């Protein structure tokens, strides 16, 4: 019996893994850039209600960034740098998203 949405015949290649990892890193960079924009907006914002909303968005975004940085998938990004086979780390990476 196959779980819905899961193709048991698909085996990702190292290239597939690298592509997904690069995509995840790009999204992480977008969030980091957004944090910088929130700082700029906070410096220029005079409205207390607007400042409160921006601070809340910044805090939420920062929590997301920190969570991603500390997830078990992040060491996989360093796997290529250290010479470790990224696929050997795939079970740990998948355990954080399954």
Instruction: Tell me the CA distances in angstroms from 94 to 45, 46, 67, 72, one per residue in order.
Output: 41, 44, 15, 8
Within a domain: residue 27?
Answer: yes
Within a domain: residue 54?
Answer: yes
Per residue in 16-58, pLDDT (tens digit) is 888 888 888 889 999 999 999 999 999 999 999 999 999 999 9
Q: How does the average pLDDT of the chain come out, rounded?
A: 76
- Count the Cβ atoms, other than its own, within 10 Å of residue 1: 2
Count of structural domains, the chain = 1
Per residue in 47-82, pLDDT (tens digit) is 999 999 999 999 999 999 988 887 755 455 444 444
Q: Where are the alpha helices (DSSP H) in 45-89?
A: 48-70, 74-82
Within a domain: residue 35?
Answer: yes
Can you say how many angstroms the Cα of residue 32 is from the centroid of all Cα atoms in its chain? 10
Within a domain: residue 87?
Answer: no
Could you tell me the two tokens for 13? 């290649």
Element (H, E) at 38: helix 14-44
Q: What's the pLDDT band for 97 if we cut at 50, 70, 90?
A: very low
Residues comprising the chain, all counted: 98
Domain range holding 63? Answer: 14-69
């Amino acid at each position: 019996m196959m779980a819905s949405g899961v193709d048991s015949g698909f085996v990702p290649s190292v290239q597939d893994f690298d592509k997904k990892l690069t995509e995840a890193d790009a999204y992480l960079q977008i969030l980091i850039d957004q944090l910088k924009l929130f700082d700029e907006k906070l410096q220029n914002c005079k409205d207390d209600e607007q400042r409160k909303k921006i601070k809340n968005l910044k805090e939420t975004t920062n929590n997301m960034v920190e969570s991603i940085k500390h997830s078990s998938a992040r060491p996989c990004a360093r796997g290529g740098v250290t010479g470790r086979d990224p696929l050997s780390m795939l079970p740990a990476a998948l355990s954080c998203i399954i």
